[in-house]
Structure 1
């Protein structure tokens, strides 16, 4: 879908690489600009998770891209990169605000050279404002945005989500913005600057509860474990006789039949939110009487909205997850089999493939420089001077 679109990527960590991988999966030619030491994610992985010498954190977000390893502080490197960007459709960067401007790759300068360029900046808080220079990281934004404070029961501390959901949503918003700008360019002939940041992504994830709050509704965390300040019961994770089960938005009339308990039918519709803790306690008592498996069969029969509370072992073996081909496996040189998440969208029933594996550092330096008109001798000289790093297979 994006064949013929060239993307120059100055990205590291998760938000940036994940955004560029989405574009690369769709056929864009993504050139990842790395220092001779390599991008941060090559040498870091959350739980020190490596397959062979390869960081899982790097492998999960860099397929279908090329690696150009070059010293950004070198004047020779700058002239090479400007030549590359002059012919690019998109530049995407996730450096601290102002960093690329100081290196001579700011939007104003590059847009003057290449008016069709779509320039996307991904940051923690935005390119301006009082928090501009603060470190932007998923957990910090979960806290700042109110997400952690909204999560958990009344007697529990603020609770973080167990994944980097803000990083990933920021990546999706960045990719979305780029695609919108490319479509706009088809109509106007002119590129633009796209900005996505983790703070906006964190707020966007909470579009529903924050909108309730902005319009005067003040909810409290539940004392009985309802999963949201703003929902009636049932809406939460409940104990069963042998584990847990999740029950969500289901009419009390249906619960009355499922639990064989007429008490639920005595609750007036306009009292359901005000009496939600009382209702939730009664649901909890019923659920404690049978096993999870028994409730799953019973709820299926009565059309109650429910789900098992899966750990990752159950998730990776889930029938629907497997049917959706949610995982991608490939053999990585020197490491062996690696499994990651596949592209999350299907197009005419198909998922984009891993056309190329996450690249070795500088794997494409020679080929990219060759397309810019440099000959072998010139490339060798640049490598000897430390301006570029060339991967030797």
Structure 2
């Protein structure tokens, strides 16, 4: 595996941190998830849509595979001593506590670098380790709002519309993997570790690289559309339209060709160079034409004509889509408590295959004894740690 021999300490919770670490775990890194004894990481006790399998949180199961679980009480000096020993034998530490929390516990960047100068320290937060928003809660919805992402989405008469999934968290997770890999490469070249900072705010702005760059350079962005145009910078007919039995997306397509296939005389009256300035009028005409036939009928008409289009699928259609299945986008594993679990697989294929599942998400503290033995603790010392409440 690509990252065999790389040990990563994961002091992460929620989605951004665990998902970012999971990318690296999938690639072969030995990820040790450090969790509080008793309750474990936050995501073990919450799940979206109130979805649990036999009491096990899907929110936890979706982003903690290929990892080991070590319970440590970081408020006890004995637990802190264990973490320091682990730091000395590790390559990377990833954390997404609020700024200042790990510093107060004695595990800020400077303290950790003193223990292991070659370690890569990746700190993830909402807005950064300093600045006016340092203490503000960093959460996907809040950052979508603050960054402008919600403002550019939705229809004119509706409220600003956040994306319907934690897109900022997941993009920030990918940035964690990129940042850690870059810092490891530098360490291999220069012999020293370093600090990597990932913020949800920067991730949210990066997702808006097109419209925000247009705005910064004088672009005349349009208001949010009434007619189904999904953004403030594309020309018509780029958008989502209701068909007789569902919805269809139409992407960048010459107006003349679309007028010909739809048979719309009103659409034929528009010139190609008007497709941005008159985009609302054009989209309204396209909507009227597309509403006359079913999604399947339009797909059969548009695709042979070279009109870029796709059906708007619900999840029941997504999970049975032939290309999704062909790409092996899902994997299934057995969990001792949850039973059979289906999750998304690693999104990249290497030499034609996604990385294999090596470990299901661990039970809380499942690997504590194993990790402690690797760190040189005897069986008697492990029992003492447990008696003292350090693990």
User: Given the two structures, how large is their TM-score scaled by the length of structure 2?
Assistant: 0.97
Give the aligned CA root-mean-square deviation in angstroms: 1.2
Instruction: Give the deviation of 1:262 after TM superposition.
Output: 5.7
The aligned counterpart of 1:109 is 111
Matched, 1:71 2:108: no
2:121 counterpart SS class: strand
Spell out the pairing of 1:126-165 with structure 2 (5 A cutoff): 126-165=128-167
Instruction: Tell whether 2:18 aligns with 1:3.
Output: no
CA displacement at 1:2 relative to structure 2 = 0.3
Pairs within 5 Å for 1:168-247:
168-219=170-221, 220-247=223-250
1:335 Cα offset (Å): 2.1
Equivalent position of 2:33 in the other structure: 32
Q: 1:342 aligns with which of 317, 335, 345?
A: 345
Partner of 1:22: 23
Structure 2 distance, partners of 1:353, 1:53, is 26
- Residues in 2 aligned to 1:313 and 1:238: alpha-carbon distance in whole angstroms: 20
1:189-237 deviation per Cα after TM superposition (whole angstroms, max 9, x unaligned): 1111001011111111111011111111232111322111101111111
Query: 2 CA distance for matches of 1:187 and 1:262?
Result: 64
Partner in structure 1 of residue 387 of structure 2: 384
- Partner secondary structure for residue 298 of structure 1: helix
Question: In 2, Cα distance between the equivalents of 1:269 and 1:240?
Answer: 24
Q: Secondary structure at the match of 1:131?
A: coil
Deviation by residue 1:48-85 (Cα, 9 ceiling, x = unmatched): 21111210000000001011101001111111111110
Task: Report the alpha carbon displacement of residue 339 of structure 1 after superposing the two structures with TM.
Answer: 0.4
User: Structure 1 residue 304: deviation in Å?
Assistant: 0.8
Question: Which structure 1 residue ranges, 4+ long, deviate > 6 Å from structure 2?
Answer: none
Alignment size in residue pairs: 388
Counterpart residue number, 1:258: 261
Superposition pairs of residues 338-377 of structure 1, within 5 angstroms: 338-377=341-380
CA distance in 2, matches of 1:134, 1:28: 32
Aligned residue for 2:62? 60
Shift of 1:319: 0.5
Residue in structure 1 matched with residue 102 of structure 2 by the alignment: 100
TM-score, normalised to structure 1's length?
0.96
Q: Per the alignment, in what secondary structure is the counterpart of residue 152 of structure 1?
A: coil
